[in-house]
Structure 1
């Protein structure tokens, strides 16, 4: 196809970027995307730098399919800069059943849709179709679970601190990263331990890695 024959940004198919810390996961989701005629598969990203690069070069309507973690950060950090720097990008978060806490966080952080990995074959084509039409969509089973959960869910700040805890940062490093005092970090950690029903950093990290929070 010559440059004269290429569709303009206004008529081109929506481009789908797939981001996850594991390239094999990106490729698996990508193979499904290629079977959906209404969209075009774009690039894969495994870290924040490559994702920023691909988003910066994207033209026309762009949909980001995002796993719960990249190689250098989780979806909380990724959604933060995507919503700030690329507000027109539509985001679908994909998570395993054991990672439902990330789904809750994604909805609060402004994701346009979520998709459980176990249902991706049937759910993703429907979700992408709705996003192309400009509609955000949260599957009814996800909404049902979100509304039935108790009020002890972690706050956004507690989630940020838990993520940094999982990255191995000390209280001092967490306080410096978030602009908080060490005493404030200790206060948040105490609240996190209570909500997770644990009494140590190791136990809290274990629950974080497993997505049980």
Structure 2
């Protein structure tokens, strides 16, 4: 059973999200918060597998709560859930260690799939958000691309292979299946990759994989 915390200052939104998640018997909503401060306190008490945080909340907003959660409850994967799709929110959320970013206008199936994805160690980006991120990577491919290739070059061949699959959005179980390895071995590879790249989570590692040309068969620039 996946344990989920919902944080949004609008009761109607919380009820809607709770209703969507209730349609999946494998998900249990264990706590709800109306602001970021309450979300952090509840997460510390309940230790949910996944926290869904609205970006715009009174007092401590979702981005500030995200930063605290990553420090205090690192085992909780965080998905930012918002009506806003501005690039600055996306960049800040990913920078602070969000495992996913979904728009409230997303298909309900996206929300359920996203919860399962981040709980399983994968990343989750709304297609509209992913398009923005990829476009930004392409627009600034020069210096960032060179740096990403330098970082990737310091990895072993197997680590680069795992990084490319991680960048393609595969979960640990899926990568293990592709490489005919046990999932525990993939977890160890991913942990080593994150440490060697000096990044907080899989989303940031995936961005480096894109920048280094390791995803989708693209040649490095």
TM-score interval, smaller chain? 0.5 to 0.7
Indicate which of 128, 138, 158 corresponds to 1:141.
128
Structure 1 unaligned segments of length 5 or more: list them.
1-12, 152-213
User: For the residues of structure 1 that align with 2:41 and 2:66, how far apart are their CA atoms?
Assistant: 15
TM-score in terms of structure 2 length:
0.56
Larger radius of gyration: 1
Q: Specify the alignment match of 1:121 in structure 2.
A: 108
Between the two proteins, the alignment pairs up a number of residues equal to 138
Report if the CA contact (8 A) 1:18-1:43 is conserved: yes
1:36 is aligned to 2:24: yes
In structure 1, the partner of 2:59 is 72
CA RMSD of aligned residues (A): 2.0
**What is residue 88 of structure 2 aligned with on the other side?**
101
Counterpart Cα distance in 1 of 2:92 and 2:131: 15
SS of equivalent residue, structure 1 residue 43: strand
1:53 to 41, 66, 69: 41
Structure 1 stretches (4+) deviating beyond 4 angstroms?
97-100
Q: Decide which of 62, 73, 92 is 2:49's aligned counterpart.
A: 62
Do 2:101 and 2:125's aligned partners in 1 also have CA atoms closer than 8 Å? yes
Unaligned runs of 5+ in 2: 141-221
- SS of the equivalent of 2:32 reads strand
Q: Deviations over 1:43-88 (max 9, x none)?
A: 11012332133112214x5210111122212222111111111111
Give SS of 2:106's match.
helix
